[in-house]
Structure 1
Amino acid sequence: MGTISLTSRELNHDVGRAKKAAEAGPVVITDRGRPSHVLMTYGEFERLTGKRHNLVDALSMPGLSAIDFDPPRSIIATREVDLS
């Protein structure tokens, strides 16, 4: 996966080319010769940031019934309160 570089002007003139290039890897967008932004596919973005799941999705994942999970019971000790 190589990195392609485009100027801001090139991006504005041919967005389709930039999107096709992003299919092959990240596209660095430069502004006045310096890297300023990166264009990537949404799939690559999800892979890098980690797809977020809610609790229901996490608990409904296949294969979880085969996992033994027996955490120790938590003991919460109380203490006397001195209100004097």
Structure 2
Amino acid sequence: MRFAYMTSAVFNQNPSKAKKEASAGPLVITEHGEASYVLVRYSDFKDHWRKSESLYDALGDPSSRFDDDFLPERAGFESRDTDF
């Protein structure tokens, strides 16, 4: 994913240009050379940034792609020597 950069001064002078840049991908708006804000299309925001779930909700999600039961291999102790 490509990020475009724009200073806050240019953003304030030409918000239409900022919207055009954000249509192609995330636009990072900088202040004093440091990233301050990110402008993205609402559809991209909605698709990629969801409300985080609790661990309880994630484990109980029926649509999870990790539905396989966890079946670890049984540990064997036959090959281990013990000294008493």
- TM-score, normalising length: structure 2: 0.57
Which amino acid is 1:31 matched to?
E
* 2: CA distance, partners of 1:25 / 1:4: 7
Q: Which portions of structure 1, spanning 4 or more consecutive aligned residues, are displaced by more than 3 angstroms? A: none
Task: Kindly state the Cα deviation for residue 10 of structure 1 after the two structures are TM-superposed.
Answer: 0.4
2:5 matched residue in structure 1? 5
Q: How far has the Cα of 1:2 moved from its partner?
A: 1.7
The 5-angstrom pairing of residues 1-84 of structure 1 reads 1-50=1-50
Structure 1 gap ranges (5+): 52-84
Q: Alpha-carbon deviation of 1:5?
A: 0.2
Q: Which structure has more helix as a fraction of its residues?
A: 1
Calculate percent identity across the aligned residue pairs: 41
1:18-70 CA distance string (max 9 Å, x none): 0001010000000100000000000000011238xxxxxxxxxxxxxxxxxxx
SS of the residue corresponding to residue 29 of structure 2 reads strand
Partner letter of residue 36 of structure 1?
Answer: S
Letter in 1 for 2:43: G
Take 2:50 and 2:12, find their aligned partners in 1: how far apart are those partners? 30
